[in-house]
Structure 1
Amino acid sequence: MKHQDMDTDKNTDLSTTENEIRKHILLVRDLLNKMVVEILKRSNTHDQSKLSSPEIEYSMKYTQKLKDADYGSPEYLAIQDEMNEALEHHYACNRHHPEHFEGGIQEMNLIDILEMFCDWAIASQQHPKGDIEQSIEVNQQRFGYSDDLKEILRNSIKLLK
């Protein structure tokens, strides 16, 4: 094969390779954009059920009591028991809670997990003794998620800063 023919083959191979890389980049971009759209939908609908009955009535009665109790403590759990009707309604309406699913957290998708994590982070910030690290630990016991997921959540705390 002549030198010129080899150069032509290299250029064709390079062009084909570049096109495949560009195609991959665009496909990943499109898929990420689909995920962004879903995140935006979630951001606009997050916890809207709290503004309607029966949740709003329970929130009026119990929000301060929950803030005064340490997350995961026996006192906190007793308050949650008193709120059972509202919590069942809330979990049924909001898929970012593991309780929404019969199989718990293992049935959630990435967007559910992301919204759940953001929910926990803000709840931790709004609680006088809140600590997202502690919430991740308590919730691992509560929901039985893996050490791998726990580390992913802990690694994501850096994104909150």
Structure 2
Amino acid sequence: MIDRKTFTVPFGHVAVRDAEGRATGEVVPGSECSRCAGSGFEDKGGARLSLGRTSCAICGGAGLVRRESAAVEATRKHIAQVRKLLGMFAAEMIRRGTVHDASKFEPIEMGPLEAMQAIIDRDGPALPGSEEYKRRTDMLGPMLAHHRLNNSHHPEFYEFEYGGDCMNGVNGMDLFDLVEMFFDWRAANLDRDAGSPMSLSHSIEKYKIDPMLASILRNTADRLGYAVK
């Protein structure tokens, strides 16, 4: 009759086996040898969660791979998945940056823009929200209508798309549109106002942006060191 003994193997440990693969009743930190299924590896320094290779003390074979716990493996898989998804998001933002405002090079937009630039060169930029700003915006009416209809980073794109202001513009956007819109505002601020405080409150009021999203926009500006008003 074979005398069979049972024993508990603590988490992070493996059973020690002899050259014939029989358990000796001892346990050590580490993992099993991929060649002889023995446990001739003892984890040095308690770093049993890091991946590594060594040689087996039982068979001398190379290629011993430490095994991580299921929780660690799941966490690594999750991190890799998030990294992949963020990379896909970043790739789309880079693509958008490449084609941003490309419609301005069409004659229907560039003609009025050149005329407006002549006014700016002569009289200087207009303050957003001012009567002069509104007058100049009206001068660009057809150009702006075409531009906004063809560029989804403008809230007006979704007013055209869905009719009237039932969507309040920004509410029709996705994250890609929103991120591009925010940095479009910042670029316009740098171009027009030489980096003076962004007129974020004006844009928030103009597009009826709700308080939660308004806070996110302000927090983002603060995180990036942009002064706002």
Band of TM-score, shorter chain? 0.7 to 0.9
User: For residue 180 of structure 2, what is the aligned residue in structure 1?
Assistant: 115
Q: How does 1:38-117 map to 2 (within 5 A)?
A: 38-65=92-119, 68-102=125-159, 103=167, 104-117=169-182
Paired amino acid for 1:3: T
Query: Structure 2, unaligned stretches of length 5 or more?
Result: 1-5, 15-29, 32-67, 160-166
Deviation of 1:74 after TM superposition, in Å, equals 1.9
Query: Structure 1, unaligned stretches of length 5 or more?
Result: none
* CA spacing shift, 1:64–1:159, aligned 2, 3 Å: farther
User: For residue 211 of structure 2, what is the aligned residue in structure 1?
Assistant: 147
Q: Deviations over 1:36-77 (max 9, x none)?
A: 110011010000111112110010111354652111212211
C-alpha RMSD of matched pairs (Å): 2.5
Deviation of 1:151 after TM superposition, in Å, equals 1.8
Q: Which whole-Å CA distance do the structure 1 matches of 2:7 and 2:75 have between them?
A: 29
| SS of match in other structure, 2:193 | coil
Q: Deviations over 1:117-142 (max 9, x none)?
A: 11111111111376444x21001111
Query: Could you tell me the TM-score, scaled by structure 1's length?
Result: 0.86
Query: Could you tell me the TM-score, scaled by structure 2's length?
Result: 0.62
User: For residue 3 of structure 1, what is the aligned residue in structure 2?
Assistant: 8
Q: Structure 1 or 2: larger strand share?
A: 2
Asked which structure has the greater RCO (Cα within 8 Å, sep 6+), the reply is 1
Q: Structure 1 or 2: larger helix share?
A: 1
Q: Which whole-Å CA distance do the structure 2 matches of 1:63 and 1:155 have between them?
A: 33
Give aligned-pair identity as a percent. 31
User: For residue 224 of structure 2, what is the aligned residue in structure 1?
Assistant: 159
* CA spacing shift, 1:71–1:5, aligned 2, 3 Å: closer
* CA spacing shift, 1:129–1:27, aligned 2, 3 Å: closer
| SS of match in other structure, 1:68 | coil
Of 200, 213, 216, 1:136 maps to: 200
Q: Which whole-Å CA distance do the structure 1 matches of 2:196 and 2:175 have between them?
A: 23
The answer to whether the Cα contact below 8 Å between 1:93 and 1:100 also exists between their aligned partners in 2 is yes
| SS of match in other structure, 1:54 | helix
